[in-house]
Chains A and B, each alone.
Chain A
């Protein structure tokens, strides 16, 4: 090292450096990094002084949230609390919005008739487009406007890395990455966001697992529907403390099913298509920060709520119009929807659903938000529903279509496990750059959903529960 030779050519320098690095193996880098740290330490110690901290709150909080006894129950309780607040907070505004929009619908209809508009125009605009919009807004907006800010607060607080810390072992066991807990959390907001978030996982194999299984977390387009159905069938559509707790427990149970399926599918993938050893894992547990409550609420309302709602509305309007058309074009004495639904019915019955539900899920491919509106509209076109302005009316509609506890449960399970929405699939295509994996990302969940629903339906029928 003391030998000095003069080199003037820059390329020569680079070549020499590379040559030198070859012979020195790891030790050069080690020495460089060590020196940088020593230098930084010297500098820091001369200018930085630490205040004597009275209480180490971070440590105290972490002692609780990652404790052996309380760690997992607390995670569950927190999840339950978030959904309970969302559920019970969303009820009243949902009914109010539904009331408002369907009150407005009457005026709209009156206006159409006053100007002598033809029936098909009134049907297409009011009964199709407007109704779908009204439904998407009144069912989606309140839960989103409550859930997003709460979730953003938890995110800002720094709680999510603790979740990853608690769950890492389970993910390691199935051959996945501990940070998958983080991408899963992002999935609650939007699965497409969860898929993009999988970039934080360095190992391509584990990143792919995270992408392919993100869908098993119910996104914002799905859990308002899940919430509505569990409110209807577990709380009887009436707002009561007991009922909302029961419905929130149902949502938490579904999420636990989703997490179990995530782990199971991750394990299967890492034993078959994505074989390999778990890679390294380093995760920082950052200091807790006091969230800036007002900016968080404003940001999540505008950046997330309005963004997601706009997307839903853009898809819902044409979907509503199309659904109305298909529900009103008749082939013989059956509408197109009735025809397709009838064709799907035997299969749908086998998995505890009905033809219209399956059709709604298929037509809901562009955005999960429109599954319920499509289903409602198809039912309405077939049935005889007069007033339609609350959860109770929704309950009556479903009961009149022979919904049972099994239908409700399997609707929720199918919603939880089925193929991701179009936006998520496009995002997967972009992130993986592969059509093959995108197709798999759609097929794997679909097979899982059909299988699980089939088992539940047949089990319930064999044991005589339904």
Chain B
């Protein structure tokens, strides 16, 4: 790479093999985090633009960058939020009030550790990857509950209670949908789950696990507290729900966490049901073709589709009533997954479809 002797030898001396691995990992983690945050920033812009177009408006078009109207809007928002004062209510529990935004953001970022970005490129290739994802998503609710409780406000507390009940309810359906995925893959390892789906667009899980895909995505929308399940913030009922007392960057952390979670659910939907890194033409085109090779290109491209789905849902559906959310979660989604688990068990037993030829 670069050849200037003294500095090179000095750096080589610093980066002994003992230090090299942690340092490289740290740099890579930083790259992924910055990448995710940048995607999140432009995702907020995309949301406002797309919903604007759906509602026959223009969306943000004042802050231009590279002659594209509105492209710099996310940065303008960041600057605005950075300069706003962070207000702490006088009767609030100050420590927990400060900790809560981080408790939502940290699990959202931690899950990216087990996501493969390219073949053999994942931070932690652990055997219980699926369980790690499930446990981290379930921790995210603490930030919401604590934010609602610590603010010492009735609106915030109502939002927190709603969110807690909703997330606990939908987690069960989500977990069952994941059980379907792991039955199809025969492993909890994310890499193995992707590898089990190889062979083109019709051997991905979505075809045999279509009900699971529906349940997973709906539960994902509910877990991220997005419309039409956004009763936790419900502007028309409880002002802004759990983050009503947050301002400035403290609010921005909740905002970032919500959008990172949306991107994450989209990425996970792709990994579990649409083959993750795999190419849709795998098996249809000659293996030497770049179109048939798995890679980040396909992963990113496929992830955009569920991401658009989130925005589409928000622009289209009115908010659910709270009791109907509970009804949908417990009485519709969980039975669907249970029935399909039984069907899948029979398919495994008789070696139908993707289980043909497997023991």
Q: Do A and B come from the same complex?
A: no
